[in-house]
Chains A and B, each alone.
Chain A
């Protein structure tokens, strides 16, 4: 058995989720090859070669791979897939975008958002916003899998010494092109890999009030998240959203502020180790999953929390 893992990166650095996906591949068992496809990204391949458990790195460089366009990546990966029993990518916005194209081209099913590996052909995945877990067995020759990062502990980024093999790039598909991106710039840890996350909901009332959350986040070196309601209301950008269709997080500490706790939000954070809820409505469903609940007005509780953390 040989497994191909698709590395996620920005042509300079490997994204941490790649380490979780290699961990998922290790649970399947067999040799693991890592594909680094991009443009001027040899340094990413070098980092990939050091990952624990990676036996070989394949490097495909060309300008049409620079922005991980689904059309281009899927053609490349489909061409490689026949040499492998499993192809894994992270269940991120990149992996979710191109992997189903690979599966369709290979005429196989995709197993999305895997949270458990039972055997080489049997996997566990959440359905209905995580309110049920399905154990599914694949009958296909090649298993196309996206892995949920929070379900697999990252392997070591150092210690390996895999060989890097350059691949000849394929031709460009050319029916789609990258125009621009508008990425949220932040000094804070990344939402999906932060050890502390503090999220605000509709109770924040406006975007300006997120400053109260920022102050606490600074003290805890936390990432900032939000409920769908807060994003839809325009308080914060879309990439803050935690939930069924947003980001899935599982930090050591998750603080939900002014969030009622709709099942769609719980789906994105209920695997957190410790959950704190601050809400003035004691009936809010978020308290049913919180380890520590504080029934309070967030506009007084957040400054107090900020103060208490300074001590």
Chain B
């Protein structure tokens, strides 16, 4: 079974982002970029499936500018066999991403697609579910454990009240939550090896997919900042403040 993994290039999660002064967005020039952390978990899960003999090939796909090749190379350093870049300079929103991924799925015919549950830049948490709907496949969103069976799989999902197990008929789409696994670090020899793995580029325009953004960003601004309060000296002072000043207990 072939597994397709979608990876997104985002601002590194350690970077404290800055809103542009003209309120058109967030500063991304000269900022450290990295693979979306949830997508790293997705890649790791696919690679483990291959190592366990349950997957035959892991294909990493990313969408966007040529800079996304870096993200695909990183996926290959983690163990993906080859990569596909669906290239465009256009701003891509989740619906367009899902449509481009659908086109890629139709071309590659994988038995399973794994994505991160959300990207830490736009925090949309939509693409995997949208892709599943467009393919008319079942989905296991927010997966914290998966067990592949014969033609089906069990997915333990993180839900608000705890955990939920669902059974999906394959092919299916999975989105990775934090505790699905702990991704490995890319070792130097594997980073070198990844440079030689095949990476194909497809022009997004040739897929015939409508990429037009449906949401117009009117402005991006900073949320109101909290002011640091006071440091209390003791527990009794704290309780006194909470009772008599803040009046919350």
Within 8 A of A (CB), among B100-135: 117-118, 120-134
Residues in B with CB closer than 8 Å to A181 are 159, 161-165
Interface size on B, residues (CB 8 A): 78
Contact of B223 with A by CB under 8 A: yes
Which residues of chain A are within 8 angstroms of B246 by Cβ–Cβ distance?
Answer: 253, 274, 291-292
Q: Which residues of B are found within 8 Å of A239, using beta-carbon distances?
A: 158-163
List the A side residues contacting B154 at CB < 8 Å: 179
A101 touching B160, Cβ below 8 Å: no
Contact, CB under 8 Å: A134 / B229: no
Residue of A nearest to B221 (CB): A133
Cβ-based interface call for A304 (8 A): yes
A127 touches B238 (CB 8 A): no
CB of A214 closer than 8 Å to a CB of B = no
Name the A residues within 8 Å of B223 (CB-CB). 126, 130-133
With A and B bound together, what is the CA distance between A293 and B217 in angstroms?
Answer: 38
Assuming A103-B95, A301-B235, is B169 touching A176 (CB within 8 A)?
yes
Question: CB of A42 within 8 A of chain B?
Answer: no
Give bound CA distance, A101 to B220, whole Å. Answer: 27
Bound Cα distance A291, B227 (Å): 8
Q: How far is the CA of A131 from the CA of B158 in the complex (A)?
A: 25
Tell me if B218 and A294 are in contact (CB < 8 A): no
Q: Is the CB of B218 within 8 A of A122?
A: yes
User: Is the C-beta of B232 less than 8 angstroms from some C-beta in chain A?
Assistant: yes
Residues from chain A with Cβ under 8 Å of B219 in the complex: 134-135
1/0 per residue, CB under 8 A from B, across A106-136: the answer is 0111111100000000100011111111111
Contact A128 B121 (CB under 8 A): yes
User: Within 8 Å of chain B (Cβ to Cβ): is A81?
Assistant: no
Interface size class of A (residues with CB under 8 A): 35 or more
Per-position contact with A for B136-167: 1 when CB-CB < 8 Å, else 0? 01110110100000000010011111111111
A47 CB-CB contact with B under 8 Å: no
Q: Give the chain B neighbours of A295 by CB distance below 8 A.
A: 231
Q: Does A166 contact B (CB under 8 A)?
A: no
Q: Which residues of B, 187-225, contact A by the 8 Å Cβ criterion?
A: 214-223
Q: Which residues of B contact A94 (CB under 8 A)?
A: 159-160
Q: Chain A binding site: helix, strand, loop or mixed by DSSP?
A: mixed
CB of A10, distance to nearest CB on chain B (Å): 9
Interface of B is mostly: mixed
| Residues A183 and B134 in contact, CB atoms below 8 Å apart | no
Q: Does the CB pair A293–B229 fall under 8 Å?
A: yes
Q: Let me know if A218 is at the binding interface, CB within 8 A.
A: no
Chain A residues whose CB sits within 8 angstroms of the CB of B52 once the complex forms: none
> Is A85 on the interface with B (CB-CB < 8 A)?
no
Which of chain B's residues have a CB closer than 8 A to the CB of A97? 129, 139, 141-142
Q: Are B235 and A304 in contact (CB under 8 A)?
A: yes
Query: B17 at interface (Cβ–Cβ under 8 A)?
Result: yes
- Complex: A293 Cα to B234 Cα, angstroms: 10
In the complex, how many angstroms separate the beta carbon of B84 from the nearest chain A beta carbon?
21
In the complex, the answer to whether B141 meets A96 with C-beta atoms within 8 Å is: yes
Residue pair A292, B242 in contact (C-beta under 8 Å): yes
B168 at the interface (CB under 8 A from A): yes
10 closest Cβ contacts across the A-B interface? A291-B229, A100-B129, A109-B214, A176-B138, A104-B130, A101-B133, A100-B126, A104-B133, A179-B165, A304-B235
28 intermolecular pairs with C-beta atoms under 8 Å apart: A70-B141, A71-B139, A93-B158, A101-B139, A102-B133, A103-B130, A112-B123, A112-B126, A126-B223, A128-B121, A132-B19, A135-B218, A136-B215, A176-B168, A178-B165, A180-B164, A181-B161, A182-B163, A183-B163, A184-B161, A237-B163, A238-B177, A238-B179, A244-B120, A253-B248, A293-B229, A294-B235, A304-B236
Binding site for A on B (CB under 8 A): 11, 13, 16-17, 19, 26, 38, 93-95, 98, 117-118, 120-134, 137-139, 141-142, 144, 154, 157-169, 172, 177-179, 214-223, 226, 228-232, 234-236, 238-239, 241-242, 246, 248-249
